[in-house]
Amino acid sequence: MRLFISVLATTAMFFTASLASAAVTWTVDASTSDGSPLTAVTPGAQIILDITARTDDFDFGLAGSVNDYDNTIVGLDAASSLLRPNVFVAFCSDPNTCFGGLDNQVGGAITFQERAVGPGVEAEFLAALGLSAAGGQGSLDPGIVTGVTGDPQFRVIYTALAEGTTTLQIGTYAEYQDGYVGTVDELANNTTVTITVPEAGALTSSLAALGSVFGVVAIRRRR
């Protein structure tokens, strides 16, 4: 892991001399396993992060993570998470056979797990570095869940552990030793997801109030 970070940093120094601009952009579709809203996640429910990476550059290296969250409120479910073995591919003969991209070391040489890094904790889901630029920009990558070209390449899953509110940062963050190396520079457009696990009493009260509303509606309909 330290070797990957060192090589990525050295490559970044070499390729940041140009005056032009390019970036990797991260997006996320967040949901829960039981359909509860992110503002009131049921304790014990899974928080599902379907993550997509795109670049307008042809890059040499990229690291991405979920970080800066409170791990007493949410806990990483590494066993249920799904990570693409390669990204920014040039073409695929099928969802599992793709070429011309960068190989993801996480899930292989690097164990996918939560670590204490920088100012907090992170779960690095992508660490990819190539000797030549990737042939694609992400739109040709098959989705890790669907196998459909252009769908999210990563599914990172957390479990709601305890009441509270926390924000999960998703992307490439220098303070968490992530990096992006393109033919131009190392800019990254990151994203965040905020979740709240309410107090058990508050959740019960909300469900009771909702039940009362449905009861009133039912009575009115019978009349």
pLDDT tens digits along 174-213: 999 999 888 765 689 999 999 999 998 665 555 555 565 4
Among left, alpha and beta (phi > 0; psi -120 to 50; other), residue 118 is: left
Q: Is the pLDDT of residue 44 over 90?
A: yes
Instruction: Look up residue 74 and give its DSSP letter.
Output: E
Q: Is residue 40 in some structural domain?
A: yes
d(CA 110, CA 127): 8
Residue 205 lies in a domain: no
Predicted confidence (pLDDT) at residue 46 exceeds the cutoff of 60: yes
Specify if 223 maps to a domain: no
Residue 145, in any domain of the structure: yes
* Number of other residues whose CB lies within 10 A of the CB of residue 15: 18
Structure-token pair, residue 139: 């739109």
- Is residue 133 domain-resident? yes
Place of tokens 């014990």: 44
- What residues form DSSP beta bridges with 114? 123
Percent of the residues in the chain that have a pLDDT greater than 90, as a whole number: 70
Give the tokens for residue 54.
Answer: 């795109």
What pLDDT, on a 0 to 100 scale, did the predictor assign at position 181?
Answer: 87
Give residue 14's domain range: 2-198
* Longest CA span, the chain: 76
pTM of this prediction? 0.83
Residue 122 located in a structural domain: yes
Q: What is the pLDDT of residues 55-67, one digit of tens each?
A: 988 889 999 999 9
CATH number of the domain within which 29 lies: 2.60.40.680
pLDDT band, residue 130 (cuts 50/70/90): confident
Residue 206 maps to a domain: no
Instruction: Give Rg (Cα) of the chain.
Output: 20
Distances (CA, A) of 223 to 214, 215, 218: 14, 13, 9
Top-confidence range, 53-67, 77-91, 128-142: 77-91
Q: Which residue has the higher pLDDT, 201 or 164?
A: 164
Nearest CA among 132, 112, 142, 150 for reference residue 61: 132
Q: Is residue 121 part of a domain?
A: yes
